């Protein structure tokens, strides 16, 4: 009996048009749209893979989806090909040790926190941290000490937390066991870390860096210095965001002698699947190898494309393009708020009218990810689309008069997003407490039991254990009316928005 007969080929003979797998069919439909992709992952549909490598991967993708059989090594105790790949990646990105992550950067953030802090201890974290940070705080049972970012007054976005804020926190809480910072942020802001590294090390504690958006910055001198180059102790990077690995694949790096690699390995063994995806690991290996061979030139290509787009857009009346001395040059942030067009509206018009998809929108801005996988043709097409929308917005303004949308909306939202909130209990206690759903309109005064965050960027507005107030509701409703999506909110049976709160009288 032949192999094809033996594996039930007749039973498997289902035509594609009859194979009603909703997610799979939706993905195929997206591919067929041939959209301009200016969102993650950075390989942009495979264009970031070397052609022969991409073809070999496509040809063998099902065959190389394997497990820890002989010769395939083991991610949780690597000694063979996985260890070799991790060691080469460490060399490429400036680390002493590198660990591949198949549960995303979230697993790396959790591992950093659980490696350096024990239950009941304090950790200093920024209010503009990704929601994965509070997840690590909850898992480890820690007390978060918040520090607060500065906000760019023109763009209304975080420019990062100044070192002086960490100085204040460590002065008030000298028993904190680690400091964590996000850098660069979604908008590409990346202040120098040297002073913060010195501050942490002078206090005898490690600096942990969520560098999810910066795996590429080490590779080119025109970029801000990477966290590892600044002397940070642990750094986690989303290799899939701006480089070429598959979504959900990341790297965790350590440097120096403050972090013991064996403890990191033990934490990752708890946090990551015991059946890690070899496809994800292979995509990291391919990406690290490509960066080792051609990284500088490829990032220079991306910078050139982004600079070209920035130059064209900055000449258009009513169009603003974010440009700061120290930032990731490949993040293209654009605003038409002066023309009365909110960022959410601009994002939707680009998608609906020009088949162009960007990564993020807020009250005033959009962000497009430009990577080494992009072409001059595609970047020009995006710019042409933005300019066309701007021209139409100027005409609409002439006919209809000024829009109610105006500069300052994003700054106001950011002020609420980063504002201190009353804490009724620690995050872990609130998360594990008895809980119930409350209508959003009835939520003021209740204790939030889960993270409530606009996503993207995934920065919490409310943390578990914090008291909900009326201002939170107002800004949430306004953002959602424009198209924002919030994690931590749901639609109740009667159609009202509901939020999870600690059950009255329980804890």
pLDDT surpasses 90 at 122: yes
Contact (CB, 8 A) for 410 and 339 = no
What was the pLDDT predicted at 9? 72
pLDDT surpasses 90 at 290: yes
The residues, ordered by sequence, that sit 6+ positions from 485 with a Cβ below 8 Å of its Cβ are: 454, 455
Q: Can you give the residue ranges of every domain in the chain? A: 81-291, 295-408, 421-502
What is the percent of the chain with per-residue pLDDT over 70, rounded to a whole number?
Answer: 98
Q: Does domain 295-408 have CATH number 3.30.420.40?
A: no
- Between CA 10 and CA 283 the distance in angstroms is 33
Radius of gyration from C-alpha coordinates of the chain: 24
Q: Checking DSSP bridges between strand 250-254 and strand 234-237, what pairing results, if any?
A: antiparallel
What's the average model confidence in pLDDT over 366-389? 98
**Three-class secondary structure of residue 177 per DSSP:** coil
- Between CA 10 and CA 122 the distance in angstroms is 60
pLDDT surpasses 60 at 307: yes
CATH (one of 3.40.190.10, 3.40.50.1970, 3.40.640.10, 3.30.1060.10) for 81-291: 3.40.640.10
The residues, ordered by sequence, that sit 6+ positions from 62 with a Cβ below 8 Å of its Cβ are: none
pLDDT surpasses 70 at 331: yes
What's the average model confidence in pLDDT over 414-425? 93
What was the pLDDT predicted at 404? 76
Q: Structure tokens of 473? A: 């509701």
pLDDT surpasses 70 at 507: no
pLDDT surpasses 80 at 391: yes
What was the pLDDT predicted at 8? 66
What was the pLDDT predicted at 6? 63
User: Exposure pattern of 95-119 as b/e (b: 16+ CB <10 Å)?
Assistant: bebbbbbbbbbbbbbbbbbbbbbee
**Three-class secondary structure of residue 148 per DSSP:** coil
Contact (CB, 8 A) for 134 and 463 = yes
pLDDT tens profile 465-500:
999 999 888 889 888 887 888 999 998 888 889 999
CA distances in angstroms from 144 to 178, 213, 434, listed in the order given = 10, 23, 22
Annotation: CATH topology of 421-502:
Ornithine Decarboxylase; Chain A, domain 4 (3.90.100)
What's the average model confidence in pLDDT over 256-283? 97
Tokens 């201002």 -> residue: 471
What is the percent of the chain with per-residue pLDDT over 90, rounded to a whole number?
Answer: 88
Confidence of residue 504 (pLDDT cuts 50, 70, 90): confident
What's the average model confidence in pLDDT over 233-253? 98
- CA dihedral sign, ordered 84, 89, 92, 97: negative
**Three-class secondary structure of residue 287 per DSSP:** helix
What's the average model confidence in pLDDT over 328-346? 95
Give the angle subtended at the CA of 50 by the CAs of 45 and 51, to the nearest 5°: 80
pLDDT surpasses 60 at 323: yes
- Between CA 424 and CA 373 the distance in angstroms is 47
Confidence of residue 1 (pLDDT cuts 50, 70, 90): very low
Q: Structure tokens of 1? A: 């009996």
Of 169, 188, 251, 180, whose CA–CA distance to 209 is shortest? 180
- Between CA 193 and CA 102 the distance in angstroms is 28
What was the pLDDT predicted at 2? 45
pLDDT tens profile 33-71:
999 999 999 999 999 999 999 999 999 999 999 999 999
pLDDT surpasses 50 at 333: yes
pLDDT surpasses 90 at 5: no
CA distances in angstroms from 302 to 89, 222, 347, 355, listed in the order given = 21, 11, 22, 21
């Amino acid at each position: 009996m032949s192999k094809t007969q033996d594996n039930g080929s007749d039973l498997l003979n289902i035509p594609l048009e009859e194979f009603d797998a909703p997610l799979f069919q939706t993905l195929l439909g997206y591919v067929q749209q041939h959209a301009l992709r200016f969102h993650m992952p950075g390989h942009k549909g495979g264009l970031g893979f070397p052609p022969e490598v991409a073809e070999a991967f496509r040809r063998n993708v099902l065959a190389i989806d394997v497990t820890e059989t002989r010769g395939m090594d083991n991610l949780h105790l690597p000694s063979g090909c996985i260890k070799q790949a991790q060691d080469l990646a460490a060399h490429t990105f400036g680390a002493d040790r590198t660990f591949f992550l198949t549960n995303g950067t979230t697993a790396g953030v959790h591992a950093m926190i659980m490696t350096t802090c024990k239950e009941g201890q304090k950790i200093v974290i920024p209010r503009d941290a990704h929601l994965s940070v509070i997840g690590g705080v909850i898992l480890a049972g820690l007390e978060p000490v918040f520090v607060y970012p500065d906000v760019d007054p023109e763009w209304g976005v975080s420019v990062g937390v100044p070192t002086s804020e960490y100085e204040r926190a460590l002065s008030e809480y000298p028993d904190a066991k680690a400091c964590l910072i996000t850098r660069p942020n979604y908008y590409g802001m990346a202040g120098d870390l040297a002073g913060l590294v010195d501050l942490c090390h002078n206090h005898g504690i490690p600096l942990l860096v969520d560098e999810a958006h910066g795996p590429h910055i080490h590779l080119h001198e025109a970029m801000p210095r990477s966290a590892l180059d600044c002397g940070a102790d642990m750094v986690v990077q989303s290799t899939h965001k701006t480089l070429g690995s598959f979504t959900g694949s990341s790297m965790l790096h350590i440097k120096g002698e403050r972090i013991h690699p064996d403890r990191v390995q033990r934490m990752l063994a708890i946090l990551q699947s015991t059946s890690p995806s070899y496809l994800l690991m292979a995509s990291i290996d391919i990406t690290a190898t490509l960066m080792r061979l051609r990284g500088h030139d490829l990032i220079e290509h991306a910078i050139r494309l982004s600079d070209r787009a920035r130059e064209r857009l900055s000449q258009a009346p009513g169009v603003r393009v974010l440009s700061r001395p120290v930032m990731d040059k490949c993040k293209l942030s654009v605003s038409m708020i002066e023309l009365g067009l909110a960022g959410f509206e601009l994002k939707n018009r680009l998608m609906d009218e020009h088949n162009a998809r960007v990564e993020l929108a807020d009250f005033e801005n959009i962000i497009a990810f430009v990577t080494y996988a992009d072409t001059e043709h595609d970047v020009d097409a995006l710019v042409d689309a933005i300019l066309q929308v701007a021209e139409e917005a100027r005409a609409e303004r002439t006919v209809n008069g000024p829009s109610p949308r105006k500069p300052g909306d994003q700054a106001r939202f950011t002020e609420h997003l980063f504002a201190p909130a009353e804490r009724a209990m620690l995050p872990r206690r609130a998360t594990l407490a008895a809980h119930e759903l409350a209508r959003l309109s009835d939520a003021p005064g209740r204790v939030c039991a889960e993270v409530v965050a606009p996503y993207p960027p995934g920065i919490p507005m409310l943390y578990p254990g914090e008291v909900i107030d009326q201002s939170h509701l107002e800004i949430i409703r306004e953002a959602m009316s424009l198209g924002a999506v919030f994690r931590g909110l749901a639609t109740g049976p009667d159609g009202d928005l509901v939020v999870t709160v600690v059950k009255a009288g329980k804890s």
